[in-house]
């Protein structure tokens, strides 16, 4: 498995956010949204990581 399974440490509030709890948004910078998603903290909204969700 990759390192994109979480949990992800939030820089904003210090929470450890599980992959299924993270808020998913489109990436910035025009990456293909079907392949890349940005995970955000559900508590404070800080960006956690951009993960590859395509094949």
Give dist(CA 34, CA 52) in Å, integer. Answer: 9
C-beta closer to Zn ion: residue 15 or 39: 15
C-beta closer to Zn ion: residue 12 or 35: 12
Q: Show contacts with Zn ion in window 1-55 (CB under 5 A).
A: 10, 12-13, 15, 41, 43-44, 46
Angle at 11 between CA 19 and CA 39, to 5 degrees: 30
Rg (C-alpha) for the chain, rounded Å, is 11
C-beta closer to Zn ion: residue 13 or 18: 13
Binding site for Zn ion (CB under 5 A): 10, 12-13, 15, 41, 43-44, 46
């Amino acid at each position: 498995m990759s390192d994109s399974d979480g949990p992800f440490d939030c820089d904003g509030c210090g929470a450890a956010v599980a992959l299924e709890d993270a808020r998913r948004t489109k990436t910035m910078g025009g990456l293909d949204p079907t392949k890349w998603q940005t995970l955000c903290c559900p508590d404070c909204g800080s960006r956690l990581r951009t993960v590859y969700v395509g094949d």
